[in-house]
Every structure is written in structure tokens, then in C-alpha cells.
Amino acid sequence: MGCKKKLYTCRPKSGPQQIQTQRTRRKQRTEPCDPASLERAVRQLLADKISGNQVGIWLLAPEHLRLGTWDLLCAWSQSGGQSIWPRMALHLVHEAAFCVNGLRNQRSLTQKGFELSNGLPFVPTDSAIHELLQCHTIAEAQALQVALGKIRRASGHFQGRLLAIDPHRIKSSTKRQMRQHRFNADQKALKMSQCFFCLDLESCQPLCFTLASAAKTVTQATPELLELSQQILNPASGHGPLVLADTEHYSTELIDQVHLETPLNYCCPCQHAARQNSIASLWSLILAGLAMPPLKNHFAWSTAALQSLTSVSLSATLNEKRIILTNHSWRPPTVTK
């Protein structure tokens, strides 16, 4: 029988899988990542005891059990709990909890108890994480957000009555030719990646977010973000939450789309505030904090109808030709030419 020793290694499907791991800041190592090797290595590290300054991440375990994080990650990765993919996804979740960023070869989270909280005996490299993310689509990530958002709403993390949307632009070092952004006229335009997020203002809890290319405008990206919010909150017609936005979301196309295609109420300030404030003394007061400027072409309003509203679920926008003030339980009359 001696000639048959290690004959199992000739089987094409039984060989151990390999993955590149970040052992230290300067050292990478290729280690096996099949289920048996992972379980054996994790059990050995637990038997050797843990002493480090990152074991506090284990305090998130009860919250993971309440939210069903593991089941969500297994569904997103489309693999069982014994495989490495949901464990690497949990690694990304815990990295976000630690608020760490940058390249993994410039920091080290290994040998401090962090990797064991993910069910792994090692920290995967950037290339291994990119391989995981490349196998999944944006639609799958959004479905994960919706499922998690529904669980968090049922758990009472947020009520979803008052929302805020805003883009967040992050400086990018990519070599691609792409649109550049700047925050003011004195700043040099830089390449940036875009993140559009939605927050619940009453609880200050995040609701959902989307990623977009640098060329995508706020008017193009906001409908997708609001669609995710609708799937999470599932508002009834006429009782949609109030969405607040800044002047960057001041767009007639966006306002019309939100008004006609969603049950949400939308409110954003008008642009050219200096020009409008110059004639503020001529504005006519409708409600507390809401006034209408003297424009030639605008919607005709019924003051009695506005004052009869029981809630302040109003959406207002202003440009040089018209004012839009909408509530889904009341429609403005015809346009006055």
C-alpha cells in the first residue's frame, strides 16, 4: 500500500483551493481555503487563545444574530456557510465597522483577533477581495440593501418619515479619462468617484446608497436611490415620507419624476437665492415658512386648500417660470398663462 500514498492528490476536484493572504504589511502568503482547512486553522487559533486589541469586534455578534447578517451574506455570495466567500464578505463588513480604508499592504489587521471574527484564519489581500466583488453585480448588492433595510425597519432602527438625500464625492487616483469635479470655483477640479446616500433624519440612520460613475448627474442618479428607499419603506399612496435635498437636486425633470411616478414628497431649496432674496419683501406668505414670489407665469394656488392640509408633507421647487408645490392628497389647479 505504500505506493498508493497521497493518491488523493491526483483527483482533480479534491485538491485544496489556494488564496493569497496578507500576513503582514510586507509579506503575503498563499494558503489553502477549502472548508476543511479553514475549520482546522480556525479551531487551532481558538485553542491557542487570542490576545490582541481588536477582539472587541466580537461584541457585534449579538447584533449580527438579530439582523440575520450571516444568512444575508450567504444569499448574496450564493454559497454555503462552509465556503470562504461569505466569510470574506463578513470581513468587508467588519472592516467598515473599524472604519479602516486604504490598501491592505499599508496596514495589518492580522494576528490581533480580527480575522477569527470573520471565521477566517487569515486576512485576504486586495486582489482576493476584488475577485469576490467581481463575481457579483450591482443589482445583487442592491437586493442585499433592500433585505437588510426591511429587517432594520421592522426592528425599529428608523421610522422613515423624514429622509435626506445627498451625494458624497471621494477623490480618486484612477488613470482613466473621466469627468472631474470641484466643490467651489477656487478649487482645482479633481477626479472623484460618486456615492449617493439616503438617511433617516429622525434617527440619523442610513437607509440605502448607490454608486455611480463620475459622469452621472444628480438628476440621473437620484431616481434609482429613491426607488431603493421605496422598496425598503413601501409607503402607502398619499402617506409617503418627506425627502429633503439641497440645491444640487434643484431640477425640474427630477421634481416632475418624483411627483408623477412616486408617492414620495419632495422638498429642495431654489437656486439663485441672492436674486430671489432681493425681492423677498414682495413675496406673499402662504404658510409659516412658505412664501410665493411674484412671477408672471406660475401655478394658481388655493390658499384655503393649502391651509386645510393637516401635515407639512409638502414639496416645493422654484425656477424663473413656475412654482411646484405638491401634496399627493391635493393637486394644484390649472396653469395660469
Q: What is the pLDDT of residues 162-195, one digit of tens each?
A: 999 999 888 888 888 888 888 777 888 888 888 9
Q: Which helix (H) or strand (E) holds 325?
A: strand 323-326
Between CA 240 and CA 210 the distance in angstroms is 21
More confident residue, 50 or 305: 50
Calculate ∠ Cα 198-56-98, nearest 5°. 35
**Res 305: pLDDT:** 35
Does position 64 have pLDDT exceeding 60, yes or no?
yes
Exposed, middle or buried: residue 143 (CB in 10 Å: 0-12, 13-18, 19+)?
A: middle
**Res 280: pLDDT:** 54
Q: Tell me the three state secondary structure of residue 55.
A: helix
Candidates 142, 149, 11, 183; CA nearest to 68 is: 149
Query: How much is the average pLDDT of 5-25?
Result: 65
Place of cell 470574506: 88
Does position 328 have pLDDT exceeding 50, yes or no?
no
Does position 159 have pLDDT exceeding 70, yes or no?
yes
Q: Tell me the three state secondary structure of residue 175.
A: coil
Does position 109 have pLDDT exceeding 60, yes or no?
yes
Please check whether residue 162 is in contact with residue 241, taking contact to mean a CB–CB distance below 8 angstroms: yes
Phi, psi of 18 (to 5 degrees): -120, 150
Binning the chain into helix, strand and coil, the percentages to the nearest 5 are 40, 20, 40
Please check whether residue 60 is in contact with residue 94, taking contact to mean a CB–CB distance below 8 angstroms: yes
pLDDT band at 252 (very low <50, low <70, confident <90, very high): confident
Q: Which helix (H) or strand (E) holds 217?
A: none
pLDDT band at 283 (very low <50, low <70, confident <90, very high): low
Place of cell 413656475: 322
- The dihedral over CA atoms of 264, 269, 271, 274, expressed in degrees to the nearest 10, equals 170
Q: Tell me the three state secondary structure of residue 266.
A: strand
**Res 93: pLDDT:** 92
Q: Is the pTM of this model over 0.95?
A: no
- Convert the pLDDT of each residue in 200-246 to its tens digit: 999 999 999 998 888 888 899 999 999 999 999 988 877 889 898 88
